[in-house]
Amino acid sequence: MIRISKLTDYALVIMAYIGRDPERLAQTSDIALNTHIAKPTTAKLLKRLAKRGLLESQRGSTGGYKLTKGPSEISAIEIIESIEGPLAIMDCTLGSNHCAIFNSCTINAPWVQINNTIVAALQTIKLSDLHAKPIAVTQEMRHD
C-alpha cells in the first residue's frame, strides 16, 4: 500500500498538539493524555522527533518538549521523513542497488519525478495548517 504508517500519523498528531502552544514545555504524560495515544508510544515518538531536531527537549523534573521552529516553518514532509526515513515510493527511487530485479528490469518509469511531486505536495502542508480542529475531549482518561 502507498500509505503513511500509524506511528507517523501519531507523530503528526503529537506535533500538531505541541504546536498549539509553541512556547510551552509539554510533557509526555500531558501529550499522551490529550492526544489519546498510549504513553509508551508517545514517548517513543517524542524521542525520535527530538533526535531528528524537530523538537528540543529538557530533562529533569520540569522537563518536556517544545518545537525548535515555528509551526509555520515545519512541513508535513519533515515529520513524515523523521519517522519513516526518506520518502521513496519505489526501491529504485533510493538509488541503484535497492531493487531485487534491477539487472533484468525492463521498465523505465519516471519514479524519481513522481517521488518529487509527492514530496513537493507534502512540503506545502505546514504544521500551522494542522491544528484547525478543536480538541474533542480533555482530561478524561486515566493516567496509566
Partner DNA sequence: AAAATTGGTACTAACTTAGTCCCCAATCTT
Partner DNA sequence: AAGATTGGGGACTAAGTTAGTACCAATTTT
Which residues contribute to the site for a copy of itself (CB under 8 A)?
Answer: 1-6, 9-10, 12-13, 16-17, 34-37, 76, 80, 84-85, 87-91, 99-101, 103-110, 114, 117-118, 121-122, 125, 129-137
The binder of 103, among DNA, a copy of itself, none, by C-beta within 5 to 8 A per type, is a copy of itself
Contact code string over 4-43 relative to DNA, x by CB under 7 A: -xxxx-x----------------xxx--------x-xx-x
Asked whether position 1 contacts DNA by CB under 7 A, the answer is yes
Placement of cell 519516471 in the chain: 110
Task: With CA atoms as reference, report the closest residue to 85 among 109, 51, 110.
Answer: 51
Of 19 and 64, nearer to DNA (C-beta) is 64
- Cβ 24 to a copy of itself, closest distance in Å? 16
Amino acid at 121: A
CA distances from 116 to 8, 78, 86, 100 (A): 20, 14, 11, 23
Of 16 and 26, nearer to a copy of itself (C-beta) is 16
Residues with Cβ within 8 Å of 126's Cβ and at least 6 positions away in sequence, in order, are: 71, 72, 73, 74, 75, 76
At 58 the three-state DSSP class reads strand
Asked whether position 44 contacts DNA by CB under 7 A, the answer is yes
Task: With CA atoms as reference, report the closest residue to 127 among 8, 14, 15, 5.
Answer: 15
Asked whether position 141 contacts DNA by CB under 7 A, the answer is no
